[in-house]
Amino acid sequence: MIEAQKKTVLIIGGGAVGAIAALNLEVGGLAEVTLVLRSNYDAVNTHGFDIKSCDHGQVQGWKASRVRNTIPNLTTESLPPYGYILLCTKNIPDIPPTPASLVAPALPPSNTHTVLILLQNGLHIHKPFLASHPTTPVLSGISMIGSEETAPGKIIQDDPDRLLIGAFPNPNLGEDAGSAAAQDFARRYSAGGKTSCRVSGDVLHDRWRKLVYNAVLNPVCAILGLDTGRLRLAGGGEVVEGVVRPAMREVVRAAGACGVQLEEGVVEEMVEAEPVESYLSPSMLADVRKGNFIEYENLLGEPLREGKEKGVEMPTIEMLYYMAKAVQWRTAERKGLVEIPAKKV
């Protein structure tokens, strides 16, 4: 039976997606949110979020029930376990801390009470938690939202919040545990009537389908420094024909080799996911412009490794993977994390 009372929700990552998730949960009245912020903490703690949203309208000075800049430590702070932990940070396994170590203070390895939701992109992102938190139900969150933090604490959401929730398989737990948790969270997320949140029974399909977009348009835009509209205009459309569509077809073939049949027309749907005139900057492009690390391993590396293991030729995706790897190295150098030989004179 679904509990009617509020549940505590810890959201780690209060950027453009996490902030809207926190707002949506509290508007519904069935969640009490603690929101962990990093770079925007001072601005939000002082003034709250100013949000211009297609779902919620103009919201000025809003804060979650609790705002903090550190991960709660259940042991040292004598806190009860949360009902849900929603991880909204970028998933960058090649740059510490790992997601599992990030949530560790708020999620003991022996946890059986808290449900973890990974509102993150990419393939196989749940696998590290099977080792670190074997008794924790882990849900997949696939977010389809247009939202941007234009300045610390300033959010513009111009595309409706649509969320797919489903349980990642866990051999240590019965299927019912994950399914019941997904149903309960979807109910709480939908309670405000401001968003679409539905339960999915095929998490693997959801993630491969989104990869058709994310494994291609994200890195191509980031590498070229072009938003999706300008990318489609570049060279009279030749970049889309010569790079984007071939790469997307490689992802579709890799998914099929892994037993996931994506619907006909998915490539065209993803190419035209938004109007040219929206000039959308995918998250990887936004990160490059900000000098941040990019989450290329789970978006490019994992589908590439899966496809090649099944014998699928993926030359375009492989090229994008190594180029994204070089972009990551460049960022590491700029942050002083890479030593290079001195220039010869």
β-bridge mates for residue 157, sequence order: 53, 147
21 pLDDT higher than 60: yes
| CATH 3.40.50.720 domain extents, the chain | 7-201
5 pLDDT higher than 90: no
Confidence band (pLDDT; 50, 70, 90) for 3? very low
Q: Which pLDDT value is given to residue 148?
A: 87
| pLDDT (mean) for 54-74 | 97
Domain at 206-334, CATH class: mainly alpha
| pLDDT (mean) for 73-84 | 97
Domain 7-201, what fold?
Answer: Rossmann fold (3.40.50)
331 pLDDT higher than 90: yes
Kindly report the three-state secondary structure assignment for every residue of 3-49.
CCCCEEEEEECCCHHHHHHHHHHHHHCCEEEEEECCCCHHHHHHHCE
The string of pLDDT tens digits covering residues 107-135 is 999 999 999 999 999 999 999 999 999 99
Distance of alpha carbon 107 from alpha carbon 113, whole angstroms: 9
Residue (of 128, 155, 162, 124) closest to 140 by Cα position: 124
Q: Compute φ and ψ for 273, nearest 5 degrees.
A: -60, -30
pTM given for the model: 0.93
Distance of alpha carbon 125 from alpha carbon 14, whole angstroms: 20
Confidence band (pLDDT; 50, 70, 90) for 330? very high
Residue (of 216, 240, 234, 229) closest to 316 by Cα position: 216
Distance of alpha carbon 229 from alpha carbon 232, whole angstroms: 5
Q: Which pLDDT value is given to residue 177?
A: 80
Distance of alpha carbon 223 from alpha carbon 250, whole angstroms: 19
Query: H or E stretch including 53?
Result: strand 49-53
Confidence band (pLDDT; 50, 70, 90) for 176? confident
Q: Which pLDDT value is given to residue 4?
A: 58
Question: Percentage of the chain surpassing pLDDT 90?
Answer: 89
1 pLDDT higher than 50: no
Distance of alpha carbon 228 from alpha carbon 171, whole angstroms: 40
| pLDDT (mean) for 141-148 | 90
The string of pLDDT tens digits covering residues 305-326 is 999 999 999 999 999 999 999 9
Distance of alpha carbon 106 from alpha carbon 82, whole angstroms: 8
Other C-beta atoms lying within 10 Å of the C-beta of residue 195: 22
The string of pLDDT tens digits covering residues 180-212 is 999 999 999 999 999 989 999 899 999 999 999
For residue 105, is the peptide bond before it cis, meaning its omega torsion is within 30 degrees of 0? no
Q: Which pLDDT value is given to residue 345?
A: 82
Flag the least confident range among 53-57, 171-175, 242-246, 268-272: 171-175
| CATH 1.10.1040.10 domain extents, the chain | 206-334
Q: Which pLDDT value is given to residue 174?
A: 77
